[in-house]
Structure 1
Amino acid sequence: MSGDIVMATNLNPKEGGGSSSIKCQMLNSTNYTVWALRMKIALKVHKVWEAIEDEATEGEKNNMAMALLLQSIPEALILQVGELDTSKKVWEAIKTRHTGAERVKEARLQTLMSEFDRLKMKDTEPVDDFGG
């Protein structure tokens, strides 16, 4: 269950009824794509995605978006993005940091796949030598 988005129902006296809160998935070095999709939905549920799209610099929407983002990233990353003043800047900094790593992985995978495709056993080569 860890890493999943969990819906919890709480009573909210301001609204006179139940409201939902969402526990956000923690970002790590391997789950950026899934994390970004889940965070986008969580931000939309909390009606603060516009703060990221429009780069709101003040107000409750920016603060709520910042709070949701900062609760779902590791402390080391918080220290890197904590001084940024808008949720959009935080979102973009996280995206830039992780999509660069994804591109490197993707390029390495393509290189390995092309090397694998070129790999052929010679007619005179023993199976054990080729396997090695």
Structure 2
Amino acid sequence: MKVNHGIWEDYLQYGPQYDTANDCPIIPGETEFVERQRLNKLSKDTKTLLRDYMAGAVEKNWESKHQIPTAGDLKAIRSEVLNIMLSEHRVYLKDDKAVSSYLNNIVAPTINRLLRNERS
């Protein structure tokens, strides 16, 4: 006699890696839980990586628009950098006051360096 377990049939077949809510097997890494971290708890290497990504994004923006990023553009650049950190390095930082001021303070020195390089 065959027993029909409904959606639990897949759970029994695939084990805990089966997502019963969405009725599909979980792809490794797709539904991974990444804990939010505070900026002051990040390691020095991670902060350096974050600074490098922000500087790169500002340089890319400077090359395309040749303007200092302001409110909306700056927020978009910060979001892009934070999404890169989350997707590539599994570091989840919320765009709060500390993170935004840290990333905003990278913009001016980066643009000054670009301007110095253009002059020489």
Give the TM-score normalised by the residue count of structure 1.
Answer: 0.28
More strand by share: 1
Which structure would you say has the larger RCO, counting Cα contacts within 8 Å and 6 or more residues apart? 2
More helix by share: 2
Give the TM-score normalised by the residue count of structure 2.
Answer: 0.30
